[in-house]
Chain A
Amino acid sequence: MRLSRAARIILSVLVVGVLMVIYLPLFVVFVNSFSASRNLTWPPPGFTLEWWGRAFQSEGALDAVTTSVQVALVATAVSLVLGTLISLALQRYSFFGRDAVSLLVILPIALPGIITGIALNNAFRTVLGIQLSIVTVIVAHATFCIVTVFNNVIARLRRLGTSLEEASADLGAGLWTTFRLITFPQLRSALFAGGLLAFALSFDEIIVTTFTAGSGVKTLPLWILDNLFRPNQAPIVNVIAVVLVLVSIVPIYFAQRIAGAEKVVR
């Protein structure tokens, strides 16, 4: 598209401006992780590496990260399966109630987290009478992660069409073989992108988790919530945040490469 030079410049300035605003709080977090003040006042009175050292020794933080990773992995796996099933059903078939089902899939993420949280809490504890544990957290997370997988997979399915699968069936392949050798490879990158977003959603989720985690389960956001209350611990929280952001570059980069390889030509 031919943009006038002025328009191009304005747009570029805007983009740079927005990027700066996006990274301003992260910059504050980064600087605070070295701040000598426990109370995180600005500007920092001095700098120290103490928090970085303590963060890596903090058992509580490392346990919390492990728990979060476990929960996110399982929730992502479950939502990958359920999301794919539902995408196949909704894209390939038309049936009474189809719109209702697609609404149902979106609902866990469209309704505010606190409602999902108290509903699930009430259901687990009073209706079903089970104790809250890591399983209840995983169930809750998987429920709202389904939609991210669903979106990616259904968009991909729409683009793919059914001709390859029909050809495969014409050649004698059974349903599972067709899925395994034809459909799945084509869906792989959509599943990866959806799974990555689901993982990120589950990893950082706090509101629903507050209501569905039992006494022994401390995911990272819960740990952060606990420790932001304690002036002695707050800077460590910043260290954790910085590490997470830096670590996240790797999977996001890979997701981009895979997505880029299959980009629709402009």
Chain B
Amino acid sequence: MNRNREPHRARRSSAALAGLAIASVALLTACGTQGAPSSGNATAPAKLGKMEGAVSLLAWPGYVEDGTNDPNVDWVSAFESDTGCTVTSKTFGTSDEAFNLMKTGEYDVISASGDASLRLVAAGDVAPVNTDLIPNYEGIYDFLKMQSWNSVDGVAYGIPHGYGANLLMYNTKVVTPAPTSWDVVFDKSSEYKGDVTAYDSPIYIADAAVYLMAHQPDLGIKNPYALDETQLAAAVDLLKQQRPNIGEYWSDYLKQIQAFETGDTVVGTTWQVIRNSLSEGTSAEVVMPVEGVTGWSDTWMIASQAKHPNCAYAWLNYIASPEANAQATEYFGEAPSNQKACDFTTNPDQCELFHAGDEEYASKIWYWSTPIAECLDGRTDVKCTDYSAWTTAWQEIKG
């Protein structure tokens, strides 16, 4: 019974509580952060075993469709019934997100773009892939195999999924005459001040480098992903000059679609799928400028600590098959990697639209690669800037 109406004083017990709290905090932080689970140097298996009954995929949105988003868009169910491997999948928005998610060790397979693949290899998060175990690998275009972003020292680390280019899109009413060069977004961008767009990722620095390769050849850039300090500084300068004219940077393509339709953006980097998604009557066109373009070719890779390696190989084989490859690449809007996929697209013009199998077109594309300190163009007299330097530079550019 409380006769005393005053609130109770309870100094000692709460001081003890506070002390306990502080002690436990100190203990926890003294334990420090355990390192991420160590990823060993996995080797590719020599042969496949039994299917494990499940597989966990990490992919770009639209790569792994099982009908939950659109009942007509489903190439996963066929895989599940063929192999008995139930698929769980997670999507990511950028390669950097993908890289981080892969470190958790929860995923067996990842569809990695070139700006993530080498980082994954270096971190030991992915294992080499034994392409002999994937029958459909043969049917993939040769010009996509064993490239700098999906193989290291002659060892394949994944299989190609499809490819696309970062093109120049422009509003035909505002940007006249029709541009043929990237200068409309660089040197001449002030004409469209506030209405220019660019891709929101440090990898866009390579686009500036491609421009400089043509317009400032004395810089000596041979590969837009192999930039030493001076070359990077030049690219950064170019981008800082571009910055005041940029209306917005885009990373999710719905934003760019809307911006072009409303007229908030009139010129900038785009993907073919964005052009195809614009509604009827939008006056926009795409062009591959003369300086060349950057692009992407995604690679399906297998985690080094994959819990379901056999189902993982089954998925790689399935998604490289002509039918599945056609479905997936058509839905996303890119060129397929399997030579026979063109026979299976629902839109007969699909392959033409996306320049499937066009080796010449493909050779003009500088596919996304991860910049690393060891110069990708083979120079040994200088150190090239790596991706973290690019990221810091990118933040400075955006300001």
Contact = CB atoms under 8 A, between A and B. Distances in A.
Question: Do any CB atoms of chain A lie under 8 A from CB atoms of chain B in the complex?
Answer: yes
B328 to A, nearest CB: 14
B279 A41 contact: yes
A112 interface: no
B253 interface: yes
B258 A215 contact: no
B69 A227 contact: yes
Given A57-B71, A92-B8, A131-B106, A231 B262 contact: no
Contact of B277 (A39, A42, A132): A39
A186 interface: no
Given A57-B71, A129-B34, A93 B10 contact: yes
Contacts of B67: 59
B69 A41 contact: no
A260 interface: no
Interface stretch (A3-11, A18-26, A119-127): A119-127
A234 interface: yes
Interface stretch (B87-95, B287-295, B306-314, B370-378): B87-95
Interface in A53-84: 54, 57-60, 63
Contacts, number: 107
A232 B70 contact: yes
Interface stretch (B11-19, B116-124, B140-148, B151-159): B11-19
Contacts of B91: 226
A125 B277 CA distance: 39
Given A170-B1, A215-B88, A230 B254 contact: yes
Contacts of B253: 229, 231
B109 interface: no
A95 B9 CA distance: 5
B7 interface: yes
Interface string A80-97: 000000000000111111
B258 A95 contact: no
A261 to B, nearest CB: 29
A233 B258 CA distance: 14
Given A95-B11, A215-B88, A216-B88, A232 B107 contact: no
Contact of B254 (A39, A96, A100, A170): A39
B61 A39 contact: no
B88 A58 contact: no
A229 B34 contact: no
Contacts of B17: 97
B1 A214 contact: no
A230 B1 contact: no
Interface in B101-157: 101, 104, 106-107
B28 A127 contact: yes
Given A39-B258, A41-B261, A58-B68, A231 B5 contact: no
A158 to B, nearest CB: 12
Contact of B2 (A45, A100, A127, A166): A166
B180 to A, nearest CB: 28
Nearest to A210: B97
Given A131-B106, A233-B69, 12 more contacts: A39-B254, A39-B277, A58-B69, A94-B8, A127-B32, A129-B34, A166-B1, A214-B106, A229-B61, A229-B252, A231-B277, A233-B70
The 3 closest A-B pairs by CB, nearest first: A60-B68, A126-B33, A94-B7
19 contacts: A39-B279, A40-B258, A92-B7, A93-B7, A93-B10, A95-B13, A125-B104, A131-B106, A169-B2, A170-B1, A215-B56, A215-B88, A215-B90, A215-B107, A226-B91, A229-B252, A231-B253, A232-B69, A233-B70
